[in-house]
Chains A and B, each alone.
Chain A
Amino acid sequence: MMELDTIAAISTPLGEGAIAIVRLSGDEALTIANKMYRGKDLTTVDSHTIHYGRIVEPDTEEMIEEVMVSVMREPKTFTREDVVEINCHGGLASVNRLLELALYHGARLAEPGEFTKRAFLNGRIDLSQAEAVMDLIRAKTDKAMHVAVRQLDGKLSKLITRLRQQLIETVAHVEVNIDYPEYDDVEEMTLNLLKERIALVSDEIIKLLAMAKQGKILREGISTAIIGRPNVGKSSLMNALVQENKAIVTDIPGTTRDIIEEYVNVRGVPLKLVDTAGIRETEDLVEKIGVERSRQVLNEADLILLVLNNNDVLTDEDRQLLEIVRDMEVIVLINKTDLEATLDHDEVKRLIDGKPVVTTSLIEEAGIDQLEQAIADTFFTGGIESSDLSYVSNARHIQLLNQAKQSLSEADMAIDSEMPLDLIQIDVTRAWELLGEIIGDTVQDSLIDQLFSQFCLGK
């Protein structure tokens, strides 16, 4: 934990301000920054200087960001360690990517308040401020925990739990062979068997990482389709969402307003409103392209907002739409509640079968809060049926997944060189622990619990 290794974190509040900073502190701050950076050799530049350059992807050298990098050598820094600050203006997605890279190259994600803690431990901050430092750690931790829990998607958590279970069963198997060598009712774990089991888990982690790399959620948002018959209020909905959330939309310089308007951040859920133009032209989707094709188009969306008219009876077209989206992630809006209710709400609820239904009057700006809440609920309870598992968006999760993958690949290499099982098992256990950190489960005793529930042991 608190080995004085090199730490990294985003040091500007997320989503606020045009410039974001990734800060590194520790012995290896310069070498790590240098690995991600193309420009001057940062390890040789003078202290307290600023440099222009590019941050690149490790394998492809593909450019991610143009940045300004400040290099500050110890001891005249905030933490009294070498400090590097990478300034970028790319908004949430790219600053996250920079952090991921720093972690990838060997930094550890800073704990809440850790920069300040180091400043203190290194004697930079006055003893009298100890109290303040402790309060800061507490406050930041509580907040970070809150965020971490919210960021953890239910599906990801289930998947990780499953992978961990596979690993622990394997480890328990190895352990039982060790601690109870004479018990014949336990099949002897072999290198081949172990290799197979490791590969299963490893493949899943690689898949997860590949998806994370797409960074779908943070970079693109949840692709959201607004559908409904002409004149039910689709454009008003679009405008309401955009206006309502303008303040939190990341302001990306250099990009056009059109694109900005497509992204909205609703209570922390980044939405990408697809096919804006189409919506504005109030076209009739089903009539235009047919039922099957509509289904396909809608299938590509992660979230569907279906708008119905409160002031009209349910038409065949509405029914068709409801039928199509019934098994998708959908929120139904019954709009125009300012007008007389001719729509049979109960019928709608029956047809859509358990999916959220929100009533709004977009003209009077009523019900938007409830809609936003419904969107947030759908996302944070993990209910979203995305076409892939793209929810690994947290830099910490990605780092842990990477490390777990690394541990498993070391285990795999050890298998190839025919190391004894109990040594290989060290790396497998490590992978299990790392995955546990993602879902906040690090109870050490669970291996022993597993051992005794899985096998019949005794004297």
Chain B
Amino acid sequence: MYNAGHYDVIVVGAGHAGVEAAHAAVKRGAKTLMLSLNLDMIAFMPCNPSIGGPAKGVVVREIDALGGLMGKVIDKTYIQMRMLNTGKGPAVRALRAQADKPLYIQEMKYQLEQLDNLTMRQAMVEELIVEDGEVKGVLTETKAAYYAKSVIITTGTFMRGRVIIGDVSYESGPNNQRASIKLAENLESLGFDIVRFKTGTPPRVNSRSIDYSKTEIQPGDDNPRHFSYETTEMIVDQIPCWLTYTTEETHEIINENLGLSAMYSGMIKGTGPRYCPSIEDKVVRFHDKPRHQIFLEPEGRDTEEVYVQGFSTSLPEFVQHKMLRSIPGLEEAEIMRSGYAIEYDAVVPTQLWPTLEVKSISGLYTAGQINGTSGYEEAAGQGLMAGINAAAHALSLETLILDRSQAYIGVLIDDLVTKGTNEPYRLLTSRAEYRLLLRHDNADLRLTKLGHDLGLISNERYESFEQKLAAIEDEQKRLSKIVIKPNDELNAILQEIGETDLKEPLKALELMKRPKVTYDVIERILEEDSSLDIDVKEQVEIQVKYEGYITKSRQQVDRMKKMENKVIPEDIDYSAISGLATEARQKLEKVRPLSVGQASRISGVNPADVSILLVYIEQGQIKRLSEDER
């Protein structure tokens, strides 16, 4: 073993969580080391070649507003961009990009290489160095000992990873990378609570073997929008995806071979996510559905590999061939990589503080799929937060915890550390109780100032943000002064868009509250062609149109905040509080919530327990745990 150097922060892993963690730590001024198994696979996407979508797309924007990388990199490397849910309310609109996978890796690596304070090194970490409940560094397979004040583990699905294809199974990380065995064993011996999860991926086929004439085209948007608030140039040359369907024949093949599926033969023990069922799952559970959608998504510009979305499977390879070839357009399909399921270790996330620091080991953080989540964006969001807080720990800076009303990232982490998860956790818009406030269009309004305060957002960007704020305010003021008078021309426009006539004069701002009167319609009525940025117009329109609902949500948040502001000391001794129900006490001891608000979200902690807790804290004489009880 040799001493390989001292750092402020060490990040183990360079997946979506790892890269954001390393980047954020560096931005906060930490001397950072990032260790990963294979530097050609930085921010590799082991599954679908896409980023964003409902809830997830908002996370990408939140990451960007806090200075992270994901948005910037995908804006430079997408092959297709679409705004989803445009026909619905503003809260659920979402951007989604099809990524050029190899290019995404290259661009991410390049971005990280530009950071002065970051060392990247290829290595297999085998052990953590922990002394007296404090992390000191890591040991690698090649006997290097790296030391640091904070360590972040972001090892994704590699921990004791096991790939399963039919009755074939072998130790492996995703895409035949090496599995991380020793580190997983080390975590177990350090006393971590571990669960076994699983996920899966569909086969990839060669584009040249696909007959696209039998499929439907799915093009990108004509005017692509971008994720990053810094992006100014858009890629206009986009590549389409294609849609086809499974057939009765596919389902027959699946049914005939179900016994060979690893899932049904009982070979897989891990818990899989319900929202990503394999095709065999879908056919079994929804057996009366005659067909399932299959999207064909290119993996990049300069590759012929195509991802078969909707066809995740762990059936034997020969069955996969047969199944694929029963799908219109894929009759001649050549598989390049087979679909597979993967089982892996995850840590039970209630072992973490909301900063993502491990409760039992000071200075140690975990982020990403290792915390029981699934998805690139979920991983990246956690990585960013862990990076911010690990740097804070190392450099004695302020930590950051986002609450449920501030960001989807806040919802995600709060859910994880408060409730835990019994399946790989994916963000959904319905997980957010204030989703009207957590829109993708206002991520910058919510978070840029925070990002700037923490040193993650440059002064230059912050200035332009302030200008945007001012522009929004000015425009609202302006429109609240303009009075629109009813006349034939105006009413003709209103009729045209399906609105009723205007009878009395009305302020422009008020008129915009009508459902079909958009900002563009107001512009038309006023016969102006404002030079305002599209983001500004959008913001004015949303804030005006949905004012009632937004106010209602804000009031809810205010109420929640009262309980959120009642702090519970970290070392409170719950056994000293008489009257708590036994179940509540056990849950509280495990989760150790930091506020009464968080306590009230733990399942098994009832309102009466919350009341009792509140009274106990309020009386001021709080009994604390002694050092060794913690």
In the complex, are the beta carbons of B85 and A141 less than 8 A apart?
A: no
- Residue B616 CB within 8 A of the other chain: yes
| Residue pair A418, B515 in contact (C-beta under 8 Å) | yes
Q: How far is the CA of A457 from the CA of B428 in the complex (A)?
A: 13
Question: Is the pair A2, B562 in contact by a Cβ cutoff of 8 Å?
Answer: yes
Assess whether B579 is in contact with A134, with CB atoms less than 8 Å apart.
Answer: yes
Q: Mark B580-608, 1 if CB is under 8 A from A, else 0.
A: 01000000000000000000100100111
Interface segment, one of B68-76, B271-279, B320-328? B271-279
Look across to chain A and name the residue whose beta carbon is closest to the beta carbon of B515: A418
The answer on a CB contact under 8 Å between B89 and A2 is: no
| Interface contact B88-A179, CB-CB below 8 Å | no
CB nearest neighbor in B for A1 = B607
Interface size on A, residues (CB 8 A): 47
**Told that A456-B277, A459-B276 touch, could you supply 6 new A-B pairs with CB distance under 8 A?**
A117-B611, A120-B618, A121-B615, A127-B620, A185-B293, A420-B90
In chain B, residues 150-209, which have Cβ atoms closer than 8 Å to a Cβ of chain A?
A: 202
Task: Let me know if B88 and A420 touch, CB within 8 A.
Answer: yes
- Contact B578–A422 (Cβ < 8 Å): no
- By beta carbon, the residue of chain A nearest B546 is A423
- Residues in chain B within 8 A of chain A (CB atoms): 47-48, 54-55, 84-85, 88-92, 202, 274-279, 281-282, 285-286, 289, 292-293, 295, 309-310, 312, 428-431, 435-436, 515-516, 546, 549, 552-553, 559, 562-563, 577-579, 581, 600, 603, 606-608, 610-612, 614-616, 618-621
Q: Shortest CB–CB separation between residue B535 and chain A, in angstroms?
A: 20
Given contacts A127-B621, A421-B89, contact A134 B292 (CB under 8 A): no
- Asked if B292 and A456 make an inter-chain contact with CB atoms under 8 angstroms apart, the answer reads yes
A13 at interface by CB-CB < 8 Å: no
Q: Smallest CB–CB gap between A408 and chain B, Å?
A: 15
Measured in the bound complex, the distance between the Cα atoms of B559 and A261 in whole Å is: 50
- Nearest A residue to B308, CB-CB: A459
Q: Considering the chains assembled together, what is the distance between the CA atoms of A111 and B559 in angstroms?
A: 17
Residue of A nearest to B514 (CB): A417
The stretch of A358-366, A378-386, A444-452 that contacts the partner chain: A444-452
Q: How far is the CB of A67 from chain B (nearest CB, A)?
A: 30
Tell me if B292 and A2 are in contact (CB < 8 A). no
Q: How far is the CB of B511 from chain A (nearest CB, A)?
A: 14
Contacts of A418 in B (CB 8 A): 515-516
Instruction: Report the minimum CB–CB distance from A369 to chain B (whole Å).
Output: 34
Which of B48, B285, B615 makes the CB contact (< 8 A) with A117? B615
A130 touches B293 (CB 8 A): no
The interface bits of chain A over 284-324 (1 if a CB of B lies within 8 angstroms of the residue's CB, else 0) are 00000000000000000000000000000000000000000
Whether the pair A184, B515 counts as a contact (CB closer than 8 A) is no
A179 touches B428 (CB 8 A): yes
Query: Are the CB atoms of A137 and B612 closer together than 8 Å?
Result: yes
| B577 pairs with A134, CB closer than 8 A | yes
30 contacts between A and B (CB under 8 A): A2-B610, A111-B611, A121-B618, A130-B615, A131-B578, A133-B615, A134-B616, A137-B579, A137-B612, A138-B579, A141-B606, A178-B88, A178-B430, A179-B429, A185-B292, A185-B293, A421-B89, A422-B92, A426-B549, A448-B428, A448-B430, A452-B275, A456-B285, A456-B286, A458-B278, A458-B279, A458-B310, A459-B202, A459-B309, A459-B312
Task: Let me know if A135 is at the binding interface, CB within 8 A.
Answer: yes
Q: CB distance B428 to A175 under 8 Å?
A: yes
- B621 surroundings in chain A (CB, below 8 A): 127
Contact B428 A184 (CB under 8 A): no
Identity of the chain A residue whose Cβ is nearest the Cβ of B617 in the assembled complex: A130
Asked whether A12 is an interface residue with its Cβ less than 8 Å from the other chain, the reply is no
Closest CB-CB distance, A191 to chain B, in whole Å?
11
- Encode A114-144 as 1/0 by CB contact (under 8 A) with B: 1001001100000100110111011001000
Residue contact A130 to B619, C-beta cutoff 8 Å: yes
Q: Distance (Å) between the CB of A92 and the closest chain B CB? A: 25
B611 close to A2 (CB less than 8 A): yes
Residues of B within 8 A of A459 (CB): 47-48, 202, 276, 309-310, 312
Do residues A422 and B614 form an inter-chain contact, with CB atoms below 8 A?
no
- Distance in angstroms between the alpha carbons of A120 and B289 in the assembled complex: 60
**Which residues of A are in contact with B by a Cβ distance under 8 Å?**
1-4, 111-114, 117, 120-121, 127, 130-131, 133-135, 137-138, 141, 175, 177-185, 417-423, 426, 443, 447-448, 451-452, 456-459
Q: Which of A135, A182, A417 has the most CB of B within 10 A?
A: A182
| 9 smallest beta-carbon distances between A and B, as pairs | A420-B89, A130-B619, A141-B608, A138-B579, A456-B286, A134-B579, A418-B515, A452-B274, A422-B89
Tell me the smallest distance from the CB of A212 to a CB of chain B, in Å: 24
Which of these, A1, A179, A451, contacts B600 with CB under 8 Å? A1
Given contacts A175-B430, A422-B89, A459-B309, is CB(A2)–CB(B563) below 8 Å?
yes
| Complex-state Cα separation, A175 to B85, whole angstroms | 11
The answer to whether A178 and B85 touch across the interface, beta carbons within 8 angstroms, is yes
With both chains docked as a complex, state the minimum distance between the C-beta of A6 and any C-beta of chain B, in angstroms: 14
* A134-B615 in contact given A452-B274, A459-B47, A459-B312 (Cβ < 8 Å): yes
State whether B430 touches A447 (Cβ < 8 A): yes
Q: Are A183 and B611 in contact (CB under 8 A)?
A: no
| B residues in contact with A113, CB < 8 Å | 611
CB of A419, distance to nearest CB on chain B (Å): 7
* Residues in B neighbouring A3, C-beta threshold 8 A: 559, 562
Q: How far is the CB of B419 from chain A (nearest CB, A)?
A: 8
Most chain A beta-carbon contacts within 10 A, residue among B581, B610, B615: B615
A138-B54 in contact (CB<8A): no
* CB of A446, distance to nearest CB on chain B (Å): 11
Contact of A458 with B282 at beta-carbon distance under 8 Å, contacts A111-B608, A137-B615, A138-B608 already known: yes
Residues of A within 8 A of B312 (CB): 458-459
Complex CA gap A79/B188 in Å reads 52
Q: Which residues of B contact A130 (CB under 8 A)?
A: 615-616, 618-619
Which residues from chain B contact A120 at a C-beta distance below 8 Å? 615, 618-619
- Minimal beta-carbon separation of A307 from chain B (angstroms): 46
Specify the chain A residue showing the minimal Cβ separation from B498: A418
Q: Look across to chain A and name the residue whose beta carbon is closest to the beta carbon of B292.
A: A456
> What's the Cα separation between A417 and B91 when bound, in Å?
18
- B312 → A minimal CB distance (Å): 6
Contact A134:B612 (CB < 8 A) given known A3-B562, A111-B607, A121-B618: yes
In Å, the complex CA distance between A183 and B282 comes to: 14
Rounded to whole angstroms, the CA-CA distance of A181 and B85 in the bound complex is 6
Question: Looking at the complex, which one of B54, B608, B618 makes contact with A179 (CB distance below 8 Å)?
Answer: B54
CA distance A112 to B615 in the complex (A): 14
The CA-CA distance from A87 to B92 in the complex, in Å, is 51
The listed residue (B54, B277, B581) touching A178 by CB distance below 8 A is B54
- Tell me the minimal C-beta distance from A385 to chain B in angstroms: 34
Residues of B within 8 A of A138 (CB): 579, 581, 608, 612
Alpha-carbon gap, A93 to B300, bound state (A) = 73
Tell me how far the C-beta of A169 lies from the nearest C-beta in chain B, rounded to whole angstroms: 14
Residues of B close to A137: CB separation below 8 A: 579, 608, 611-612, 615
Expressed in whole angstroms, the Cα–Cα distance for A175 and B603 within the complex equals 23
**Contact A178:B293 (CB < 8 A) given known A117-B611, A135-B578, A457-B275:** no
Q: How many angstroms between the C-alpha atoms of A350 and B366 in the bound complex?
A: 69
- Which residues of A are found within 8 Å of B515, using beta-carbon distances? 417-419
- Report the Cα distance A137→B85, complex, angstroms: 47
